[in-house]
Amino acid sequence: MGGIAVLAKAAGHKVTGCDANVYPPMSTQLEAQGIELIEGFDPAQTKLNPDIYVIGNAVSRGNPLMEEILNRGLPYISGPQWLAENVLQGKWVLAVAGTHGKTTTSSMLAWILEYAGLAPGFLIGGVPENFSVSARLPQVPTQDKNSVSPFFVIEADEYDTAFFDKRSKFVHYRPRTAVLNNLEFDHADIFEDLAAIEKQFHHLVRTVPQQGLVVVNGKEASLRRVIDKGCWTPVEKFGTDADWQSANAQGNGSFDVLYKGKPQGRVAWNLLGEHNRMNALASIAAARHAGVAVEVSIAALTEFKNVKRRMETRGEVNGVTVYDDFAHHPTAIETTVAGLRAKVGKARILAVLEPRSNTMKLGVMKNALPASLKEADLVFCFSANLGWDAGEALAPISSKTQVHDDLKQLVTAITQAAKSGDHVLVMSNGGFGGVHQKILDALKEV
């Protein structure tokens, strides 16, 4: 929603917004864009008398401002629908969907198009460090000064659109190029099982034109089922036994790109892990559909700087490095910890976890947590506001785990355990009470 606000402001509208507990980097981005952010949902905000209220899916019935809007019959629309009607209409939309990797792959794809001089617009659920903003309108390409770029890259989420529109957000986007990165069970608060999510992904596939392209992770049985439900668009697969493959991966992150078995070039970067290689293959395939030569995409990725809150180093004190990462699903947690392990070797990893997402709060994934944290040397779990017993769920790794429901006590426990040479990996999809800086500040006092 913050990104949509940025796009609306850039399009010439006067924009205000309200939310509760907005945290960086989105809060600072909104401030930098001159967008007034109002804390809370006071019905008195209707005195601003806007032309339209754009409603995000975090707003539900019972919200005092929303109830006032409904009672007075004021005009409102969902964020995805507003975006589709006011920004995406007539554009070549490149949509990146999947349980994991949407933000990183969208950022890679937008950067490739930018590097190629195509000046795309984009809306991404994080802040790509190559751009320093999460959203912008299409710009004027370097090779054609007479027209605005037709390309728009969007992170395409399967979560529902709004309390009044229970379809997945991505069905509004009508992509010409669709990337299906992976598909696991998530969002247990709105989907009863994996099959329900597969159905929504099939709805997305149904919107891609015959002249479009669907780029699919060839390893995922769930995505094979999605395509088997019906697909009227050419498909290119990436991964094992696929059109696009990686080979000769090195410890520094570099790897070769193969297309139909033929070498295309080597990506030389310092991003680690198979998940980043898969993200890169998906972005290269999607960019090729938009007319970018593979060698140009490979050159662009060598200059890719990743996304904020993706293994982002927040600071180092007394030889202890503190990282911030958005991981919150067990698969993402396992991948993130493994990626750090590959980077730091035998050095100790202190994993700090906040199970904050709706799915995690429901406890649906709790039994998968111990295995996801196997590569960590010590585990610290923040258990406030959980509807299940974190200590019980993490019992299989209790010898290396501490559970705290008080943030101050959590910080104290981490700083008491940390030694020079350690790596503290903080994982949450929220602000986590600013725990990263609290840890760094506390380490200075040790």
What is the C-alpha separation between 97 and 182, in angstroms, rounded? Answer: 8
- Show the domains of the chain with their CATH numbers: 2-78 (3.40.50.720), 81-301 (3.40.1190.10), 312-445 (3.90.190.20)
- Say how many CA atoms lie within 13 Å of 269 toward its Cβ: 21
Question: What's the pLDDT band for 327 if we cut at 50, 70, 90?
Answer: confident
Q: Model confidence over 75-114: pLDDT tens digits? A: 999 999 999 999 999 999 999 999 888 999 999 999 999 9
| Residue 107 · residue 128 · CB < 8 Å | yes
Nearest to 214 by CA among 193, 228, 196: 228
pLDDT at 416 over 70: yes
The pTM of this model reads 0.79
What is the C-alpha separation between 152 and 266, in angstroms, rounded? Answer: 27
Copy the structure tokens of residue 385.
């506001």
Q: Model confidence over 191-243: pLDDT tens digits? A: 788 899 999 999 999 999 999 999 999 999 999 999 999 999 999 999 988 99
Looking at residue 188, its pLDDT comes to: 63
